[in-house]
């Protein structure tokens, strides 16, 4: 079969690829490779695909219990186009007008809008004209940072500080502000501590602290202003869409199928052994699992030697989440809502320095029946409430008392802003760091791979290739990072690296010529 990949015609011979994990990266890799004629098998240990993009069903109603924000639509547009599909044919997306509602008590509220002018007006009314001007300057700084980092970092297979600097020029590299923290950079634009607290929360999108994460994360502000969408039917619909498209192109996807070991022979990956003993031979393997699981030996010695060691000190944040059906009173919820704790410095010191649940937590609430003209219509609403937590789920299982104490503090924070929730234990599912550790072994419950603390940390995530030929990595713990679009990019990069290596192997394999002279 003759196909086109990255503008070059190639003939594929049905090479076999085993993909461990049906999360975002694994599904994207499966779709792209199957579309190019490879024999792809995805092996997912859970009952459904999606990985961290999961949902919980309570009383017959599905609640997004993982990522709740869909941005960088262009990533999926490009990936589906490569596979001969159009995103709008398979998903219904509605743009969000209000990005999030923020509260610091019963009266102090601020909405961020998709429109910069509307946000600037709201910030001016909230904190004064200087704050509005500071916001516009911050948005421009974020735009410049994104303009450098999209081509030089996000799209690059293996970026380095030098490659980013040379791609954008030294002046552009300074716009990225890699050598200062996000918190310090925010001080250049906002005197009001509440605004620093608001925009400092972008660090938690990567599971980090704004006091240690580089100012480059300000690019998230530009990403949000470029578009936040509601996915009709929930974020999990993205995973289902990718599965159906991959299967339609010939991929086999097996759920409830844990992998015990990545096999190697002759110095390269040769397949996988399942937990039940079945062996699946393949020409290449993509591990869409947290790198920490490979480093811990969860997939055998050959895979363990192929990746960098992962230290617990480098873990990103975990969480305590409450997925629930609840009656809501007293606060006008939007789809995305943030109820801030008293002091950011103390909150992040609790999380990273003291490794404990924060005394004064910030609480995120995703009201999944609100926004884009959504109306709860008098019935109990689907909510996901989240508090950041330290990633110690493999070393410490919080007892019922500690979880109850955390819940009391979180719901008291909501009540301070006027939000009252009425629910019952049978309408609530609580997940702690130890629960996330069970879902994603060897992570301690960390949800975003390693932390991005310090200017070099973003460049220290592994790329798609490993030290074991034929073994590739995808997912939120590898380059370019955590989150739905970044994990999708990692799957695309893994597919590209694998295809390039297979083409190279075919091009340079040794053949015997007449007379017995080996030729390359």
Q: How far apart, in whole angstroms, are the C-alpha atoms of residue 336 and residue 450? A: 25
Contact present, 398 and 424 (Cβ < 8 Å): no
Beta bridge partners of 95: 229
Tokens of 231: 């996915």
DSSP state of 310: -
Question: Which H or E run contains 77?
Answer: helix 73-82
H or E element: which one contains 422?
Answer: strand 420-422
Q: What is the DSSP string of 6-40?
A: TTEEEE----EEEEE--SHHHHHHHHHHHHTT-EE
Do residues 331 and 406 touch, judged by C-beta distance below 8 A? no
Contact 314, 212 (CB under 8 A): no
Residue 215's contacts (CB-CB under 8 Å, 6 or more residues apart) are 145, 176, 177, 178, 180, 181, 182, 184, 185
d(CA 274, CA 117) in angstroms, rounded, equals 55
Pick from 372, 352, 30: nearest CA to 204: 352
What SS3 class is residue 354?
coil
Q: Beta-carbon neighbour count of residue 150 at 10 Å? A: 17
Q: What is the DSSP letter of 204?
A: G
- CA separation for the pair 266, 387 (Å, rounded): 47
Q: Enumerate domains of the chain plus CATH numbers.
A: 2-53+233-311+452-508 (3.50.50.60), 115-226 (no CATH), 317-439 (no CATH)
Report pTM. Answer: 0.92
Q: Tokens for 386, please give them.
A: 């989240």
Rg (CA), the chain: 23
Res 172: pLDDT: 61
Give exposure, 470-490, as e/b (b: 16+ Cβ within 10 Å): bbbbbbbbbbbbbbbbbbbbb
Instruction: Write the CB contacts of 310 (distance below 8 Å, at least 6 apart in sequence).
Output: 291, 292, 295, 296, 442, 450
C-alpha distance from residue 260 to each of 45, 253, 257, 278, 467 (Å): 10, 17, 10, 10, 20
Give the per-residue pLDDT at 168: 64
- Is-contact 188 56, C-beta < 8 A? no
Report d(CA 117, CA 135) in Å as an integer.
10
Question: How high is the pLDDT of residue 507?
Answer: 57
Predicted confidence pLDDT, tens digits, the chain (520 residues)? 333 333 333 334 579 999 999 999 999 999 999 999 999 999 999 999 999 999 999 999 999 999 999 999 999 999 999 999 999 999 999 999 999 999 999 899 999 999 999 999 999 999 999 999 999 999 999 999 999 999 999 999 998 888 887 776 666 666 677 789 999 999 999 999 999 999 999 999 999 999 999 999 999 999 999 999 999 999 999 999 999 999 999 999 999 999 999 999 999 999 999 999 999 999 999 999 999 999 999 999 999 999 998 777 789 999 999 999 999 999 999 999 999 999 999 999 999 999 999 999 999 999 999 986 666 767 899 999 999 999 999 988 777 788 899 999 999 999 999 999 999 999 999 999 999 999 999 999 999 999 999 988 888 999 999 999 999 999 999 999 999 999 999 999 999 999 999 988 765 444 333 333 222 2
Cα(483)–Cα(480) distance, integer angstroms: 10
């Amino acid at each position: 079969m003759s196909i086109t990949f990255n503008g070059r015609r190639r003939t594929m011979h049905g090479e076999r690829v085993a993909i461990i994990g049906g999360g975002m990266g694994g599904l994207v890799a499966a779709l792209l490779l199957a579309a190019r004629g490879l024999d792809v098998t995805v092996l997912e240990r859970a009952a459904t695909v999606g990985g961290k993009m999961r949902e919980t069903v309570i009383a017959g109603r599905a609640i997004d219990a993982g990522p709740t924000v869909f941005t960088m639509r262009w990533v999926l547009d490009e990936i589906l186009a490569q596979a001969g599909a159009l995103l709008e044919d398979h998903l219904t997306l509605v743009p969000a007008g209000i990005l999030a509602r923020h509260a610091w008590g019963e009266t102090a509220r601020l909405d961020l809008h998709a429109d910069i002018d509307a946000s600037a007006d709201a910030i001016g009314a909230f904190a004064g004209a200087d704050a509005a001007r500071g916001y516009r300057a911050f948005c421009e700084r974020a735009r410049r940072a994104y303009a450098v980092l999209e081509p030089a970092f996000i799209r690059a297979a293996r970026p380095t500080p030098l490659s980013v600097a040379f791609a954008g020029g030294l002046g552009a590299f300074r716009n990225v502000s890699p050598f200062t923290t996000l918190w310090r950079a925010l001080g250049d634009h906002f005197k009001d501590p509440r605004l620093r607290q608001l925009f400092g929360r972008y660090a938690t999108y990567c599971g980090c602290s704004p006091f240690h994460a580089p100012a480059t994360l300000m690019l998230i502000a530009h990403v949000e202003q470029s578009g936040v969408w509601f996915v009709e039917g929930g974020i999990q619909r993205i995973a289902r869409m990718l599965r159906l498209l991959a299967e339609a192109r010939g991929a086999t996807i097996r759920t409830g199928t844990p992998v015990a070991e990545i096999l190697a022979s002759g110095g390269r990956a040769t397949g996988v052994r399942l937990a039940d003993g079945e062996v699946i031979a393949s020409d290449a393997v993509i591990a869409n699992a947290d790198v920490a699981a490979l480093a811990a030996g969860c997939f055998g010695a050959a895979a363990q030697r192929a990746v960098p060691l992962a230290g617990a000190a480098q873990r990103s944040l975990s969480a305590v989440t409450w997925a629930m059906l609840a009656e809501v009173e007293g606060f006008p919820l939007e789809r995305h809502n943030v109820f801030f704790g008293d002091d950011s410095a103390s909150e992040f010191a609790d999380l990273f320095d003291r490794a404990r649940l924060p005394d004064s937590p910030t609480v995120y609430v995703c009201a999944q029946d609100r926004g884009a003209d959504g109306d709860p219509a008098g019935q109990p609403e689907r909510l996901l409430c989240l508090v950041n937590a330290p990633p110690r789920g493999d070393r410490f299982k919080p007892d019922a008392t500690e979880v109850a104490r955390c819940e009391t503090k979180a719901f008291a924070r909501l009540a301070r802003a006027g939000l009252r929730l009425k629910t019952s234990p049978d309408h609530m599912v609580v997940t702690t760091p130890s629960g996330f550790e069970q879902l994603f072994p060897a992570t301690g419950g960390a949800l975003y791979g390693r932390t991005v603390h310090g200017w070099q940390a973003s460049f220290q995530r592994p790329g798609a290739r490993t030290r074991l030929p034929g073994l590739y990595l995808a997912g939120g713990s590898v380059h370019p990072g955590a989150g739905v679009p970044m994990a999708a990019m990692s799957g695309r990069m893994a597919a590209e690296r694998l295809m390039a290596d297979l083409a190279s192997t075919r091009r340079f394999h040794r053949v015997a010529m007449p007379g017995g002279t080996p030729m390359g």
